[in-house]
Amino acid sequence: MSSASREPARQDPATWDPATRFAGRPGFRFGPPERAVEVSSRALMAPMMGYNEAPLRRICRRYGSGLAVTEMVKPEKLLRGDPNVLRDLEFADEERPLGVQIAVRDEEELLPALELLAPRGFDFVDLNMGCPLKKECNKGWGAALLKDPAKVARLVAASVAAVDVPVTVKVRTGYELEERTAPEVVEGAIEAGAALVCVHGRTKMGWYREENDLSAIADVVAAARGRVPVIGNGDVVDLDTALAMFEQTGCDAVMIGRGAVGNPWVFREVDHYLRCGERLERPDFATVRELFEEHMEGVAEIFGERKGFRQVRRYAFYYFGRFGLDNAWRARAAQAKTRAELAPLLDEIERGQLSAAS
């Protein structure tokens, strides 16, 4: 990779204070200069199975995420033309820069899938080598690859040769609880041409039973030696946890997953603080409701009114959770079958529970 797209090397933890390190550089770029992806913010939306439909991607981009990524695509489903996969690959320009995340197992599946994806115009391809689900790992996908750094390098090299956009990699710190193989995996991936690396601070076997290990992410940052941006992921849910990730790992950006579901403002909060050193006030109920209704409308346009509502109803608990919802309200909301049935419940919050907001 040309030095024009590299971040400066970071060796001394004393330089990891984001206010100092990112002064005058609120965004970053990755990839070779002739096809580099420009990222406007260092707070990024994570790919999440079951959540990253187009309406949420658009919302997160509008509220400060530097980029967006699709849900993980399985090559076997793409190759047989699964209509659900093809639907999920549709996007609008307002989502750019947008990457497509693809499950990786072997070149025989991967390369034909990349050939099918190329005409769709994604800005980068993200190889998922961190999914911890047992059923996926048993098939050789996701975090199973962390046991074979040489294979990771081969798959990255094959992907880089097959596409005309940057290739990125998402990994965990290792497979087994006590084996932190990510530095070796990442070293091979970078040498093979990976333009960016995202690392989640848990092992596959630890999943969410172990603490997110920021020191292990820092080890990956050290292994990268400033050659490509390294993104820190895991337990980043607000500004304070984002700052802890920056300060304790030296990463170039943070990737936020479930912490952004119902709270897309988190991207703007992080981005604004890095630019200005100021904390933004949280949005009021009216603003939250307006965005939730927009989200519902967007999902309904894709799935239809009833199926779309079933898909998006769960988001109500994320959007409005901080407004003092009690168990009775949650139970009634879970029974709502349409937007019209949910609307009076939202009116209740506005009339009587705003004082409980925190």
Q: CA–CA separation, 126 vs 72, rounded Å?
A: 9
Residue among 186, 193, 296, 273 nearest 231 (CA): 186
Three-point CA angle 48, 54, 56, nearest 5°:
65
- Which member of 60, 131, 137, 251 is catalytic? 131
Sorted by sequence, the CB contacts under 8 Å of residue 355 that are 6+ apart come out as 324
Confirm if 173 and 199 have CB atoms less than 8 A apart: yes
Q: What is the DSSP string of 13-73?
A: GGG--HHHHTTT-S-EEES-GGGPEEES-SEEEPP-TTT--HHHHHHHHHTT-S-EEPPPB
131 is catalytic: yes
Question: Which run of H or of E encompasses 297?
Answer: helix 285-303
DSSP label at 195? S
Contact partners, residue 199, CB within 8 Å, separation at least 6: 130, 170, 171, 172, 173, 182, 186, 216, 217, 220, 230, 231, 232, 233
**Cα separation of 58 and 101, whole Å?**
17
**What's the rounded Cα separation, in Å, for the pair 166 and 123?**
7
DSSP 257: S
CA dihedral 194, 200, 205, 207 (to 10 degrees): -140
Burial of 45 from C-beta contacts in 10 A (0-12 / 13-18 / 19+): buried
Which positions are annotated as active-site residues? 131
